Structure 1
Amino acid sequence: MTDSKTYDVVVLGAGPVGENVADRARAGGLSVAIVESELVGGECSYWACMPSKALLRPVIARADARKVPGLRQTVQGDLDAAAVLAHRDDYTSHWKDDGQVGWLESIGVDLYRGHGRIAGTRRVTVTGSDGTEQALDARHAVAVCTGTRAALPDLPGLADVKPWTSREATSADRVPGRLAVVGGGVVAVEMATAWQALGSQVTLLVRGDGLLPRMEPFAGELVAKALTEAGADVRTNVSVTGVRRENGTVTATLSEGGTVEADEILFATGRAPRTDDLGLETIGLEPGSWLSVDDSLRVEGSSWLYAVGDANHRALLTHQGKYQARIAGAAITARAQGVPLLETDPWGAHSATADHDAVPQVVFTDPEAASAGLTLAEAESAGRRVRAVDYDMANVAGSGLYADGYEGRARMIVDLDREVLLGVTFVGPAVGELIHSATVAIAGQVPIDRLWHAVPAYPTISEVWLRLLETYRGA
């Protein structure tokens, strides 16, 4: 091991979350080292957000165009799969991280390539690919930003099958003739949407009774309907009990009897924290565990260890992890400078309050599903006195102009005691761009009476806001 080097902050993981922690700490005048064992830019840049949305954009654009008179006749052919995959490759920078490495250099962050492990209080060791080790000491903080990996079930024969996870699903260089997708969450429905449109015959195997279980029930219902109409075979209340691969064909055995055959099988069955080989045992924490944190993202019981992004299991979304990173970077800087923190002050500069009350999400299927804040079930479970207000988005003038036969639904959850919004869900074409307005209303705790004065432009799909408010007020 070479002599140790000392920094104010050491960040483990150079994905979007780690990059943002490093950026905020550097902006506060602190010295920063960042450790990465794979590509700078992390899961989001190369195997998740960017490649998946690059695959889905042509799919959604074609679906929308087919609903526009005068245009639908010109877009009835198949997608050019090779061009779509090439477009995806461009958005991943062909799995090269030169640009993001250059950005780290430009803000003065030192990059250490290799596997980082905590080796005691405020100390990290980095083992390079050649076996050499470098010790890094942190004056103020170590931030764990290592994210998650796909969680695979314990099934007989699974390892021999070499199943797809989200990584293979977003980076595959060919379209499988038949694709079985196990799961009903965001990864499952987005990848089912993409590969079905690119030419695969998709069978979606869902253990529960519907898709997108963490959203309002109607979101999963509308997405399932669209997938079925697109040609996918959507099966609910089934479990895969075993898999095998023979002569290139994967056979999945189902709980209710019968089998499904495919050329590839994707397991989108959850995520697990990448903390199993992080040295947590050297500081009294459980390897492989989610790290519980306070609202400043500091690990509970520690004065120097932070867990930011997926590793803390608060909100497994890139944008939410980046939000946490901005909060953590500010908190680390303030503590390093001896500035008092108002950790319990909601919506303060050092409190990730939005993790609890205003998390936005968009599912890029056809139709899109977008939500912010709480669902009706979550609000009622929390003991809130609420009212759900629903509206058929097909009745908005802008929706009809956007697409013939527009189908969608909107719901807002009103806190009846405070007359503010707790949650909003939109399902329908192009609703992803509506969700930030909902997030602002929820995070800002804007009273319903004031929202009445936020006039939506006519004729846009956002006029649904007016219709929801009218329905609530009985106007």
Structure 2
Amino acid sequence: MTRSEATAPTTGAPDGDEFDVIVIGAGPVGENVAERAHAMGLGAVVVESELVGGDCSYWACMPSKALLRPVAALADARRVAGAAQAVDGGLDADAVLARRTSFTSNWQDGNQVAWLDSVAVDLVRGHGRLDGPRRVIVETPDGSARTLTARHAVAVCTGSRAALPDLPGIADARPWTSRDATSSKEVPGRLAVVGGGVVGAEMATAWQALGSDVTVLVRGDRLLPRMEPFAGELVAESLTEAGAKVRTGVSVESLERPSPDRPVTLSLSDGSRLEVDEVLFATGRKPRTDDLGLETVGCEPGGWLAVDDSLRVTGVHGGWLYAVGDANGRALLTHQGKYQARIAGSAIGARAAGVPLLETDRWGAHAATADHDAVPQVVFTDPEAASVGLTAADAEQRGLRVRVADLDMGEVAGAALYADGYRGRARMVVDIDREVVVGVTFVGPGVSELLHSATVAVAGEVPLERLWHAVPSYPTVSEVWLRLLEACRG
């Protein structure tokens, strides 16, 4: 038995089952809250009912990107004369799936448990529920109950789950959720993807490349509706060229599957019917807050937990309850949740030490300001779509006076070298009154590695006149920054 799974804590914690900080949920967010609290001198324990490492490690970020990386590598080779001639055939689906499985550690969490142990954070396996202020009762795998008490804080880091619509026949149809889409051991012959957001676009890209006949069904008028319009347009164009079918303005009204080994038939809003072997619903997320005992501390169960910028749940007497990551609904992204975790852990430590916080200060050490103004996201489709900050429409809705610079990324020398006939687009949104960048979007092969430079510019509120002195190396795709600045100057 590792120290982290021992009956009683041994490092930095009070006696027995009393801890400085209790973290419910051992995904990347919970792990980071606990580690940061420990670094602040507090004893921490995490409670986990599934695998330590959470959805990101086993059913989301890691397996999905492992499925998508071979797609991009093959596409990149085919876009360069000389390399293209060396490409023979398509992806080896079995090899791709095996590599995917290796990145999930075959759905075993031993390495993650060892990491917790290495940072002196304790682990209790089981389902944790609040039972009044600073108290958590854990139903352990052997059926017994264990009561944990927090001296300073409890952090809810339970993440989110796929939200399925209430449609006739959906239960019998046994649809895929994102978990099924990233863990399937077989390639379906025909796959319907319902939803045009990030999960839908990425999984359509992956499974089409692995050999599925993919149909994407989008209720709205485009893919990736939260990004600049051209992002979804370029991704849809590429999916169509690859052989997938993208149907917009259509929704599923009912499903029919006579038996588990038979195809599923979808009845659509335009009157047509679609028969497929599997159907993935990528239609949003909902918080895992419905069975946490929140009602015992005056909170409504089942919804997103409202928090201040230090991630403390509002309206809870004593200010000891925190909600970090997807549970608060601010930005449902692993990296953003880990950012929140660092803020929350530091705030918990400061409050425990009696240090005043500057939580209302913009960009302060205990304020998750980036959640509002500088959230980065990459969609690992082919082409990739990457954005940070505000779209032009978002900025205008906030009442900002903006100037927009658009660029065909194929005009950049580095992009032309990266891929023959490089197709992509970039947009920079500038706040005219402050002369700072408030949003950037890139679409094109390999643009994910450009995004952090944009994130630094947005989060740092770097003046445009200073950005002129950030010289991009030639000939790299990063020269897009120079071209955008030129376009912005007019």
Q: Deviations over 1:33-88 (max 9, x none)?
A: 10000000000000000000000000000011000011112224021000000000
Letter in 2 for 1:170: T
Q: Of 171, 184, 188, which residue of structure 1 is paired with 2:196?
A: 184
Partner of 2:361: 345
Partner of 2:418: 402
Q: Of 444, 466, 470, which residue of structure 2 is paired with 1:450?
A: 466
Letter in 1 for 2:475: P
Q: Of 14, 35, 42, which residue of structure 2 is paired with 1:23?
A: 35
CA distance in 2, matches of 1:106, 1:320: 24
- Give the 3-state SS of the residue equivalent to 1:53 in structure 2: helix
- Give the 3-state SS of the residue equivalent to 1:35 in structure 2: strand
Partner of 1:215: 227
CA distance in 2, matches of 1:211, 1:72: 29
Kept after mapping to 2: 8 A contact 1:273/1:289: yes
CA distance in 2, matches of 1:332, 1:244: 50
Q: Of 301, 312, 319, which residue of structure 2 is paired with 1:298?
A: 312
Say whether 1:332 aligns with 2:344: no
Say whether 1:206 aligns with 2:222: no
Q: Which runs of 5+ in 1 are unaligned?
A: none
Partner of 1:281: 295
- Give the 3-state SS of the residue equivalent to 1:174 in structure 2: coil
CA distance in 2, matches of 1:455, 1:415: 22
- Give the 3-state SS of the residue equivalent to 1:387 in structure 2: strand
Partner of 2:25: 13
Q: Deviations over 1:298-355 (max 9, x none)?
A: 0012310000000001000000000000000000000000000011011111000000
Kept after mapping to 2: 8 A contact 1:203/1:233: yes
Say whether 1:243 aligns with 2:255: yes
Offset of residue 4 of structure 1: 6.7
Partner of 1:226: 238
Letter in 2 for 1:317: L
Q: Of 71, 89, 92, which residue of structure 1 is paired with 2:101?
A: 89
Q: Of 110, 115, 122, which residue of structure 2 is paired with 1:110?
A: 122
Offset of residue 130 of structure 1: 1.9
- Give the 3-state SS of the residue equivalent to 2:257 in structure 1: strand
Letter in 1 for 2:445: P
Partner of 2:329: 313
CA distance in 2, matches of 1:381, 1:75: 47
Offset of residue 106 of structure 1: 1.3
Kept after mapping to 2: 8 A contact 1:212/1:219: yes
Q: Deviations over 1:167-194 (max 9, x none)?
A: 0000000100000000000000000000
- RMSD between aligned residues: 1.0
Say whether 1:372 aligns with 2:388: yes
Moved more, 7-16 or 245-254: 245-254
Say whether 1:386 aligns with 2:398: no
CA distance in 1, matches of 2:307, 2:16: 28
Partner of 1:70: 82
CA distance in 1, matches of 2:243, 2:118: 48
CA distance in 2, matches of 1:89, 1:75: 25
Kept after mapping to 2: 8 A contact 1:47/1:171: yes
Letter in 2 for 1:84: V
CA distance in 1, matches of 2:381, 2:20: 43
Partner of 1:133: 145
Q: TM-score, normalised by structure 1?
A: 0.99
Q: Which runs of 5+ in 2 are unaligned?
A: 1-7, 9-14
- Give the 3-state SS of the residue equivalent to 1:314 in structure 2: coil
Letter in 2 for 1:396: V
Kept after mapping to 2: 8 A contact 1:176/1:200: yes
Q: Deviations over 1:134-183 (max 9, x none)?
A: 00000000000000000000001111111100000000001000000000
CA distance in 2, matches of 1:177, 1:29: 54
CA distance in 1, matches of 2:245, 2:441: 26
Letter in 1 for 2:214: V
Partner of 1:146: 158
Moved more, 78-87 or 238-247: 238-247
Say whether 1:322 aligns with 2:334: no
Partner of 1:411: 427
CA distance in 1, matches of 2:88, 2:253: 39
CA distance in 2, matches of 1:241, 1:179: 17
Kept after mapping to 2: 8 A contact 1:4/1:135: no
CA distance in 2, matches of 1:103, 1:96: 14
CA distance in 2, matches of 1:55, 1:453: 39
Q: Of 269, 277, 283, which residue of structure 2 is paired with 1:255?
A: 269
Kept after mapping to 2: 8 A contact 1:4/1:134: no
Kept after mapping to 2: 8 A contact 1:5/1:136: yes
CA distance in 2, matches of 1:194, 1:471: 35
- Give the 3-state SS of the residue equivalent to 2:236 in structure 1: helix
Say whether 1:122 aligns with 2:138: no
Partner of 2:167: 155
Amino-acid identity (%): 73
CA distance in 2, matches of 1:373, 1:318: 17
Letter in 2 for 1:55: L
Offset of residue 129 of structure 1: 1.8
